Structure 1
Amino acid sequence: MSQITRLFDFPYYQLEKYSLPDALVTKYGNEWVKTSTQEYVEKANAFSRGLLKMGIKSGDRIAVISSNNRTEWNITDIGILQTGAQNVPVYPTITEEDTEYILNHCKAVYCIVSDADLYQKIAAIRQNVPTLKEVYSFNEIAGCKNWNEILELGKDTGNQSEVEEIKKGIKEDDLATIIYTSGTTGRPKGVMLSHKNIVSDVLMSAERVPFEPGKTVSLSFLPVCHIYERMILYLYQYYGVSTYFAESIEKVSDNLKEVQPFVITAVPRLLEKVYDKIIAKGSDLTGIKKKLFFWAVDIGLAYEPYGANGPLYSAKLWLARKLIFSKWKAGLGGNLGLMVSGSAAIQPRLARVFAAAEIPVMEGYGLTETSPVIAVNDERNFGFKIGTVGKVLNGVEVKIAEDGEILCKGPNVMMGYLDDEEKTNEVLKDGYFHTGDIGVIDKDGFLKITDRKKEMFKTSGGKYIAPQL
């Protein structure tokens, strides 16, 4: 297993290199239940065997809709992929109408949901999806088949040789997953990503994360139906990171204290909330404590990486960390050393203050169509610059078009949109994916996003202007 070329190679690679006792950990009731790497692989194989007995063929599509991240999702994912079928993750909060459209558009033969609410949603539209044979659920739901029935069906290892044979025939350029992006207008588009698209992005991104292989703990809570968190979960598997799944977004704060992770992925909106909560607590202080708190915040807001502010600032920062910021870190579990942020631009003030507090936010950039990472910051080797999305990954080519649009080429660029040649040709031209974002690459090689192309207009003089610039 020296080379990873398909997504289902990741668990086997982890088994060979790290064989964790707590590869995937989910909380049921009050108990964190650990699944070892060995058990992960065994259950994924049982799931594949069960699917084959149910008549699943290469090229079939199975929709998975979960309202939270959990161990079952990952076992199901690998189990599906090993049969040559495609996993189609669906966002749990979209409308019934869009869900029905997606299931029909991808011709889903089975659908696996997490809970009763989602089961009711599918039950309401099921008669309008002729390809759908059955619905299964992770949770026990009256009247709904349970995913354990598929594992049970695959308990007999008699057809494991068939699984192995199918796996051997799956190539890196084969379609692995279809992820529907909710466009601001019109129907969702089905982004087709191959094994190579996502595997290459994981391996290229791996160079940018400071994990101690086999000894790092993460907490996962961003929706796994998005390529961002899904790619990160494969990255965790590659590095032998123990992955704990938060119970819900609401319980993240409690779970951080319980799990004490080193790394989380976040979005700017969540970081804003964390910051506001900290500031609110500081505002409740009185006297000298309050003065010290806001003195430290001011120090944080002036932060520049790599000691650029000089020795006097560094001395003040050392004191601010000792007196105030250490408490921030303790409130987030005590071990948090990295937050990776994507999906939207982070306010530079947040990037400064969290880095000052030794909980750096490494901002990255990408799209579903690029599997997703194109560029990301890395605190090591002077690879971190506030206000940018970092340097472009090694192996990805980015060029800035005449109108400022970011164009991307690389093994991570999608195969195309499912059954939509016209829209595919609109964004894929001469091997480059047109991101629709406007940006610049500075003299040090950092990519900075400045605008959305859709918000630009051309002046009579032929110049492109972004209204808010």
Structure 2
Amino acid sequence: MFSSESGSNICSLCSNALECGEKRYRCSECSDIKFCEECYHSPKSIEFHTDKAILPHHCTIETKTDSEYLQSNESDRFYQCFENAFNSFSHRNCIGVRPVANEPTVNWLTFKDVYQNSEMFGSALKLNVKYESRVGIMLNNVPEWYFVEFGCLFYGYTLIPINHYINNDQLLNILKIGEPTILVVSKITFPKLLNVINNYSNLTLIIHVGDDYDQNLKNQLPQQIKFKLYSEFLSTVSEIAPHSPLINGILSVVFSTGSTGIPKGEICKDRDTTNWLKTYASYKKCPISISYLSLSHTQRLMDLTSIFLGGRFLIYSLGTEIEPFIKECSMVRPTYFWNFPTFYNQIYSMYQRRLEILKKEQPNLSNDEVDSKAIRETTNVFGDRIQHISTRGAKTAPHIEIFLKKCWGNRFYNNYGCTESYAIASNGRIRSDVEYKINAIPGFRDDSLYPVGELIVKSPRTIEGYINKDGSNEKNFRNGWYVTGDIVEEYEPGVIRILERVSYSFKSSFGRFISPEIIESNFYSSSLIRNIFIYGTSLHPFLVGIVVPSQLALERFNLTYDQSNIDQHQDLKESIINEINIISKQKNIIFWEIPKAIKLDNTIWTVYNHLLNGSFKFDRKEITKYYQKSLDQLLSGINENVMLQFECLFYTLLFLSNETVTFYNLSPVIDSP
């Protein structure tokens, strides 16, 4: 999974055995390169470095292999796991920050640096804040996040990570449910707090990372809230206090994004937290990675795992635009990379655009040759040393999964889990330590050849429940089992595919179950569609859709995303309608699942306009709200002839005794309203 030594105990130059406990020099760039002390100082050692990183490579003095370190660092306590890791890897690079964007220089903090900074913050907490208090952290990606994280772990405070992309309503709900008394913010996140601060009364202290802050905002704080700069807070410490980690307490309260309702605060204790760390660390190699998403969810887990394994990562905080991020990846050259399906959708679109360009530039190449060249170029976008690349956090469209496997082969993993019960399945196969049940949903795919229904799981990583007091625990946790809310199909024993969220499915006015995400995933195979949102209600028999055209589609018609009248461009619209109809026929989509009207829109869905949630998933609630007027117009604009045709086809199909009839031959093509 990760780039590191394989576990051998042999000097790379002289081939002499290196005993456990014997000093050796480990290369941080090359896979499985280590030298005994004598060979390290030999001029010949330079010849053995295989990685193209600029020489001389950084080497650290070690006494064990990575696998030996992992074995000795493991503990049944989350705190002790990291105490051991920091002691073992003190001289290794841990967290990197690039002082100038797109420049090769990286300022590295070693494990020792991170440990000492964490102790400073934790000692300040112990001196100024009551033991076991809840500390909220709402920062962008900066090293201080980890100092707060480990400071709370070392000294017995409950951490509440808060996604800095969330909207005001979600932030206020998290504050009211999580009840932090201290909140750590930055110049970027402080203004968001001021939008809700007057509606939350439990906050007593704000710690601001960075000396540059808005004095006007500070003046708006209620009088009972103290405001301290991070540096000012640390200055209260005269000596490092002894550690005082929680025993059987709540280590953290991790909140869901709240995209389907009130955010739920997941109670994370020692048992489940330590078990997910051990599971993620079971790959036994240390990663080189890049930290770029909000640290309140999966990115936080990946970074903590990296630290426990002795890996290193570079912090990226230049926004969510894909091109500068890919440029950064090519400079970091990670060995481990993960992201959400929405990101890989964009990579796939880039690949499709590259295909079209190559066909024009090199018309003599066959389609297979063009495709092979585009795949090679795509494979290199994250650098040349990827050993593990994965998607997680949401359903991945089948064509995207095929594409990713084409690029990275068996280095690609489609992982499935949730913060309530981490690491449920990988590549569809449910982990051996996960118990599961599939509860059928009456009326949903009753004719399926395979078990289909809502997945319910239990594992050593399943949390006890939520901190919410709104009935969420009774609904989602039953005798140690967690109700995932995901509809799955078990197409082989112990192997599942994710179909849809239960909350997104609904019955149309004709009594048919509709699963919008499943329908949408079919159309993402089109090179003309960047985003599509399928919508319907229980009051209507048909569906409508919003389509954001791809860059490639716009280029074909000399259009840009800046143009406001994109829906009025009939040639583009007819082209996309034709694509939807072609795909519907190719994939035998039942006619009531084909949108009967669409509207084109030029809005790019991002975390900043909240059409993507803080975990970079499509926020269906916010998307519906944003397009509600257009969706209602589409539904009401379907003319009577289409309605009559639809009803006729539906009842014809309903009463046909020959069940082998192909649905798409009955399907009316969608039309412009």
Partner of 1:358: 408
1:53 to 103, 107, 127: 127
Distance 1:339 1:400 in 2: 29
Q: How big is each residue's C-alpha offset from its partner over 1:166-193, in whole Å with a ceiling of 9 and x where there is no partner?
A: 22xx33x431111222334542222212
Distance 2:397 2:99 in 1: 36
1:337 to 384, 387, 391: 387
Q: Secondary structure at the match of 1:179?
A: strand
2:231 to 115, 135, 148: 148
1:230 aligns with 2:300: yes
1:241 aligns with 2:311: yes
Distance 1:293 1:179 in 2: 51
User: Superposed, which structure 2 residues align to 1:173-212 within 5 Å?
Assistant: 173-207=248-282, 209=283
Deviation at 1:338, TM superposition (A): 2.2
Segments ≥4 residues shifted beyond 4 Å: 290-294, 455-459, 463-469
Q: How big is each residue's C-alpha offset from its partner over 1:229-282, in whole Å with a ceiling of 9 and x where there is no partner?
A: 222222212222211122233231121021111111101111111221233233
Deviation at 1:435, TM superposition (A): 0.8
Distance 2:387 2:402 in 1: 14
Distance 2:344 2:507 in 1: 35
Distance 2:305 2:267 in 1: 20
Partner of 2:480: 431
Q: How big is each residue's C-alpha offset from its partner over 1:2-31, in whole Å with a ceiling of 9 and x where there is no partner?
A: 433343334333234444532111223445
Partner of 2:156: 84
Distance 1:113 1:49 in 2: 19
Identical residues among aligned pairs (%)? 18
Cα 1:453–1:429 change in 2 (3 A) is same
Deviation at 1:349, TM superposition (A): 2.2
Deviation at 1:200, TM superposition (A): 0.8
Contact 1:65/1:112, CA 8 A, preserved across alignment:
yes
Distance 1:292 1:88 in 2: 55
Moved more, 180-189 or 416-425: 180-189
Contact 1:204/1:393, CA 8 A, preserved across alignment:
no
TM-score by length of 1: 0.80
User: Superposed, which structure 2 residues align to 1:365-384 within 5 Å?
Assistant: 365-370=416-421, 372-377=422-427
Partner of 2:434: 396
Deviation at 1:65, TM superposition (A): 0.8
Cα 1:287–1:466 change in 2 (3 A) is closer
Distance 1:176 1:464 in 2: 45
Contact 1:257/1:332, CA 8 A, preserved across alignment:
yes
Distance 2:339 2:280 in 1: 16
Partner of 2:65: none
Deviation at 1:61, TM superposition (A): 0.9
Contact 2:209/2:229, CA 8 A, preserved across alignment:
yes
Partner of 2:343: 270
Cα 1:325–1:71 change in 2 (3 A) is same
Distance 1:174 1:296 in 2: 59
Q: Secondary structure at the match of 1:102?
A: helix
- Structure whose CA Rg is larger: 2
Contact 1:77/1:87, CA 8 A, preserved across alignment:
yes
1:8 to 67, 79, 96: 79
Report the count of equivalent residues.
Answer: 414
1:132 aligns with 2:182: no
Contact 2:414/2:426, CA 8 A, preserved across alignment:
yes
Q: Secondary structure at the match of 1:417?
A: coil
Contact 2:160/2:254, CA 8 A, preserved across alignment:
yes
> What letter corresponds to residue 462 of structure 2 in structure 1?
V
> What letter corresponds to residue 486 of structure 2 in structure 1?
D
Distance 2:393 2:106 in 1: 29
- Could you list the runs of 5+ residues in structure 2 that have no partner in the other structure? 1-71, 216-226, 442-452, 519-673
Q: Greater relative contact order: 1 or 2 (C-alpha under 8 angstroms, separation 6 or more)?
A: 1
> What letter corresponds to residue 163 of structure 2 in structure 1?
Y
Deviation at 1:443, TM superposition (A): 2.9
TM-score by length of 2: 0.57
Contact 1:365/1:376, CA 8 A, preserved across alignment:
yes
Distance 2:389 2:95 in 1: 19
Cα 1:398–1:204 change in 2 (3 A) is farther
Q: How big is each residue's C-alpha offset from its partner over 1:411-465, in whole Å with a ceiling of 9 and x where there is no partner?
A: 2212212142621011111221111112133435322212322355799xxx996
1:37 aligns with 2:111: yes
- Could you list the runs of 5+ residues in structure 1 that have no partner in the other structure? 299-319, 378-389
Distance 1:205 1:55 in 2: 33
1:107 aligns with 2:179: yes
Deviation at 1:408, TM superposition (A): 0.7
Q: How big is each residue's C-alpha offset from its partner over 1:177-220, in whole Å with a ceiling of 9 and x where there is no partner?
A: 1122233454222221213222212212333x4x6x24x31112
Q: Secondary structure at the match of 1:354?
A: helix
> What letter corresponds to residue 201 of structure 2 in structure 1?
P
Deviation at 1:294, TM superposition (A): 4.4
Contact 1:11/1:37, CA 8 A, preserved across alignment:
no
Contact 1:282/1:290, CA 8 A, preserved across alignment:
no
Deviation at 1:324, TM superposition (A): 5.0
> What letter corresponds to residue 108 of structure 2 in structure 1?
K
Q: How big is each residue's C-alpha offset from its partner over 1:377-432, in whole Å with a ceiling of 9 and x where there is no partner?
A: 3xxxxxxxxxxxx3223322222224421111122212212142621011111221
Distance 1:447 1:411 in 2: 20
